[in-house]
Amino acid sequence: MGMTMTEKILAASSGRESVRPGEIVLAECDLMMGHDVTAPPAINEFRKTGAAKVKDPDRIVLVNDHFVPNKDIMSAALAKAMREFAREQGIKKYFEVGRSGVCHALLPEEGLVSPGDVVIGADSHTCTHGAMGAFATGVGSTDLAAAWATGKIWLKTPETMAFDISGAPSKWAFGKDVILKIIGMIGVDGARYRAMEFRGPGVAAMSIYDRLTMANMAIEAGAKNGIFEADEKTAEYLAGTPARKGKIYASDADAVFADVVKVDIEGMEPVVACPSLPENVKPVRELKGVKIDQSFVGSCTNGWLPDLRLAASVIKGKKVHPEVRMIVIPATQRIYRAAMAEGLLDIFAEAGAAVSVPTCGPCLGGHMGVLAEGEVAVSTTNRNFIGRMGHVKSLVYLSNPAVAAASAIAGEIVHPEDIM
């Protein structure tokens, strides 16, 4: 009996010839990531293990991204604890403010993830890195501490769901719309503790950035991980980074899948996830007339350079609605500089949008765009739970960058075509 991609990676990393869903493995970690919110508690737990030194500092990544630049004394203390731990342990892959970015965009950009890797991170959206053909999943800070000490992670092998994607979407629909459609089809627990394997001709035509966005939001369907088979587009992206060659895995023809879901995206129009679940998906045209107070373009889901180009193409020569604030945050410092060199930041500023340095801030309701009671936002982020971006009585609609930009101009949720 054959194995899926996820099963093959977990078998190889645990020194086994094969694994089956439900089996426990002790997998060797290729990369272990923490950030300014989750690393400090992991550091505290690491101290309790009695280990003086981490197993392998070269496999650890520490990123300042959530509350940076530090918004208060408490967040400054968290960053300081992580900074000091990096120095103490000789961790070279420590990314400081000004040389950093949102962790899930920064890791692939820096070439830290390769096909076939096992990547864990103390952040639920670590599943993003499955776009590189890796097994990537979020863990708790305690599990991260144990992995720092041993270099290994205890995992239960997940079942795999295959998503056969066919067709090509319309001009204004992208990977964000495809993953929202899928979550709308199966629900926020439809892939609970399963691997979501994305495949088919629709996937082959997608950019690496669409794949990163889709893998990022696998967790919004409850998945353990999202994964794409590495191909020439993966190789082309990684060729511009210091990434290792890695090993490309493909699911066997006789692999057993828990479910196979057919997803037809031919001519698909943009969709929006309405409050307060990512599964509450509707076509954007059904939401015309929904007034907004804030539009946000950024995050690990849609803060890539192509996302900024897309939003800028919609907003160029226009003005943000006088009753709306638009916030744009490039996902990394490198993306920020590239956007600046291309004149994108000037387009946003001319339109009346605010542009920030890389941070996760607004996505988790941390800072740089927190919502007040009763406010409504359209956002390119990945999660719209009650209170996610601010007050529990605020509302968040999830969209692609073109819809977010168009809505900022109109003052209400609209299809990009309506303002072009």
Whichever domain contains 332, its CATH number is 3.30.499.10
Residues 200, 325, single domain; the answer is no
Residue 312, judged by CB atoms within 10 A of its CB (0-12, 13-18, 19+), counts as buried
Q: Please check whether residue 407 lies inside any domain of the structure.
A: yes
Domain end call among 263, 281, 304: 263
Residues 181, 315, single domain; the answer is no
User: CA 291 to CA 3: how far, in whole Å?
Assistant: 49
Residues 388, 411, single domain; the answer is yes
Q: Please check whether residue 420 lies inside any domain of the structure.
A: no
User: CA 31 to CA 59: how far, in whole Å?
Assistant: 5
Residues 77, 173, single domain; the answer is yes
Residues 194, 339, single domain; the answer is no
Provide the pLDDT for residue 139. 98
Provide the pLDDT for residue 1. 84
Residues 53, 199, single domain; the answer is yes
Residues 315, 190, single domain; the answer is no
Residuewise pLDDT in 10s, the chain (420 residues):
899 999 999 999 999 999 999 999 999 999 999 999 999 999 999 999 999 999 999 999 999 999 999 999 999 999 999 999 999 999 999 999 999 999 999 999 999 999 999 999 999 999 999 999 999 999 999 999 999 999 999 999 999 999 999 999 999 999 999 999 999 999 999 999 999 999 999 999 999 999 999 999 999 999 999 999 999 999 999 998 999 989 999 999 999 999 999 999 999 999 999 999 999 999 999 999 999 999 999 999 999 999 999 999 999 999 999 999 999 999 999 999 999 999 999 999 999 999 999 999 999 999 999 999 999 999 999 999 999 999 999 999 999 999 999 999 999 999 999 998
Q: Read off the tokens for 308.
A: 């900024």
User: CA 359 to CA 262: how far, in whole Å?
Assistant: 36
31, 117 Cβ separation under 8 angstroms? yes
State the residue range of the domain holding 388: 271-415
The rounded radius of gyration (Å) of the Cα atoms in the chain is 20
Q: What are phi and psi of 55, to 5 degrees?
A: -60, -45
Residues 243, 370, single domain; the answer is no
Residue reference for tokens 């099963």:
7
Domain end call among 223, 245, 263: 263
Residue 241, judged by CB atoms within 10 A of its CB (0-12, 13-18, 19+), counts as middle
Residues 112, 231, single domain; the answer is yes
Domain count, the chain: 2
Provide the pLDDT for residue 240. 83
pTM of the shown model? 0.97
Q: Please check whether residue 50 lies inside any domain of the structure.
A: yes
Residues 296, 401, single domain; the answer is yes
Residues 158, 305, single domain; the answer is no
Q: Please check whether residue 116 lies inside any domain of the structure.
A: yes
Residues 81, 194, single domain; the answer is yes
Q: Please check whether residue 252 lies inside any domain of the structure.
A: yes
Q: Please check whether residue 297 lies inside any domain of the structure.
A: yes
Domain end call among 207, 232, 263: 263
